[in-house]
C-alpha cells in the first residue's frame, strides 16, 4: 500500500468521520500519524494494491476510537461480507495496537464455531452444502459467557478456529488469552437483525440467478429464526462499524480470491463445488436488505475492487 496514493473517499466523508471521533483538527491528526513510526512498521501487512483509504478511513480511525476509549472495556463490532478485506484489517489493527501499546485485541465470531462434531450436526442438510458460516453454527452460550466475563474485567480465553483443518471444513484448534481493554468482534453478519414480522422471506431475491429454490426458501426462514438468537450478542456492542458492499454480488469475486490466497498460504481450500455452494449461500441465506438495515455507527461502502466509495455516520441519539 502507498499511504500517499489516490484516495477515493470524498473529503467531506472523511471530515464527518473524524468529527464523529471527536478529532477537532484533521490536519494535525493526520500529521501525528505520519510522524509516528507506525506506518513504516506495519505497511507490509497490506496488499500492495490496497487503497490508502483502508488506512486513513478505517484502520487509523478505528485505532483512534480505541485510544479514546482506553480505561474502560469496550466492545467494537466490525461487520463485513466475506473476502472484502476485514481479516487483513484485523491483522493490521492487532499489529498496530501492539506497536502503540494499545490494549486492543481482534476476535472473529467464527472463532466461536462449534467443535467439529457439533458443527457438522448444526450444518447438516443445508441446501448449499456449506460446512460452517451460517447463523446457527456458533456456540452462542460460550460467546455470551466469554463477553460477559471479559466486560466484568476478567482475563478470558478465546477459542481459535482453523478453517484449513478437516479438508477445509475446519475445527477448533486451541485457545488464546485476552485481557485487552478494547475487543473488536468481526464477522460477516455481525449486527444483522431478523426481518420484521410479515415480511416476505423472498425479499431481495430478484438479484439471484438461478432463482431461489424451495429448499433455499426453507433454509432462509430457518436462518431468520437463528438470527433472533444473535440479538443478545449484538446488544453487547458499544459501537458498530460496517464495511458494506455497494454491489451485493461482490462476494462472488472476493470469496474466490480469498480461497486462492488460502490455497497459497496453507495448501488447502474449498473445492470448486464447495466454493460455488458457499458463494450461493452468501447471496441467498440472508436478504441483502438485512445488511442495508444494520444499525452501524460507521458504514463504509466498498466497490467490487475493494475501493472505499462512500461513508455514512449514524446520527447520535
> 99: domain CATH number?
3.40.50.300
Band (pLDDT 50/70/90 cuts) for residue 317 is: low
Identify whether 2 is part of a domain: no
Kindly report the backbone phi and psi dihedral angles of residue 269, in degrees, each rounded to the nearest multiple of 5, phi listed first: -160, 170
Identify whether 241 is part of a domain: yes
- The three cell numbers of residue 50 are 490496497
Q: What is the pLDDT of residue 151?
A: 96
Identify whether 1 is part of a domain: no
Task: Please give the mean pLDDT across all residues of the chain.
Answer: 93
Band (pLDDT 50/70/90 cuts) for residue 66 is: very high
Q: Once rounded to an integer, what is the mean pLDDT over residues 230-257? A: 92
- The answer, yes or no, to whether residue 166 has pLDDT greater than 80, is yes
**Which domain covers residue 92, as residue numbers?**
11-313
Identify whether 67 is part of a domain: yes
The region of weakest confidence among 94-108, 129-143, 191-205, 296-310 is 191-205
Q: What is the pLDDT of residue 74?
A: 96
Identify whether 63 is part of a domain: yes
Identify whether 265 is part of a domain: yes
Identify whether 273 is part of a domain: yes
Identify whether 4 is part of a domain: no
- The answer, yes or no, to whether residue 259 has pLDDT greater than 90, is no
- The answer, yes or no, to whether residue 270 has pLDDT greater than 70, is yes
| Prediction pTM value | 0.94
Number of domains in the chain: 1
The region of weakest confidence among 2-6, 142-146, 241-245, 286-290 is 286-290
- The answer, yes or no, to whether residue 81 has pLDDT greater than 80, is yes
Amino acid at each position: 500500500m502507498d499511504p500517499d496514493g489516490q484516495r477515493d473517499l470524498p473529503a467531506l466523508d472523511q471530515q464527518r468521520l473524524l468529527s464523529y471521533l471527536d478529532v477537532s483538527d484533521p490536519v494535525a491528526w493526520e500529521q501525528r500519524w505520519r510522524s509516528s513510526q507506525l506506518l513504516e512498521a506495519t505497511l507490509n501487512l497490506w496488499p500492495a494494491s490496497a487503497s490508502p483509504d483502508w488506512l486513513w478511513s478505517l484502520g487509523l480511525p478505528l485505532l483512534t476510537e480505541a485510544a479514546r476509549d482506553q480505561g474502560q472495556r469496550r466492545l467494537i463490532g466490525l461487520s463485513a461480507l466475506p473476502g472484502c478485506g476485514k481479516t487483513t484489517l484485523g491483522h493490521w489493527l492487532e499489529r498496530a495496537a501492539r506497536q502503540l501499546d494499545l490494549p486492543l485485541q481482534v476476535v472473529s465470531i467464527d472463532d466461536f464455531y462449534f467443535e467439529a462434531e457439533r458443527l457438522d450436526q448444526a450444518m447438516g442438510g443445508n441446501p448449499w452444502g456449506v460446512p460452517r458460516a451460517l447463523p446457527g453454527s456458533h456456540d452462542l452460550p460460550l460467546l455470551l459467557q466469554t463477553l460477559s466475563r471479559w466486560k466484568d474485567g476478567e482475563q478470558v480465553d478465546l477459542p481459535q478456529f482453523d478453517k484449513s483443518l478437516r479438508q477445509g471444513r475446519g475445527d477448533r484448534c486451541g485457545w488464546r488469552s485476552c485481557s485487552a481493554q478494547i475487543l473488536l468482534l468481526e464477522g460477516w453478519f455481525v449486527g444483522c437483525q431478523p426481518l420484521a414480522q410479515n415480511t416476505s422471506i423472498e425479499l431481495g431475491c430478484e438479484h439471484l440467478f438461478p432463482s431461489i429454490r424451495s429448499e433455499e426458501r426453507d433454509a432462509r426462514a430457518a436462518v431468520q429464526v437463528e438470527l433472533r438468537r444473535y440479538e443478545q450478542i449484538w446488544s453487547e456492542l458499544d459501537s458498530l462499524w460496517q464495511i458494506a458492499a455497494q454491489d451485493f454480488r461482490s462476494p462472488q469475486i472476493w470469496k474466490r480470491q480469498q480461497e486462492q490466497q488460502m490455497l497459497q498460504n496453507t495448501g488447502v481450500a474449498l473445492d470448486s463445488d464447495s466454493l460455488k455452494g458457499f458463494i450461493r449461500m452468501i447471496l441467498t441465506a440472508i436478504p441483502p436488505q438485512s445488511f442495508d438495515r444494520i444499525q452501524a455507527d460507521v458504514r463504509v461502502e466498498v466497490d467490487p475492487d475493494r475501493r472505499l466509495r462512500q461513508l455514512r455516520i449514524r446520527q447520535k441519539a
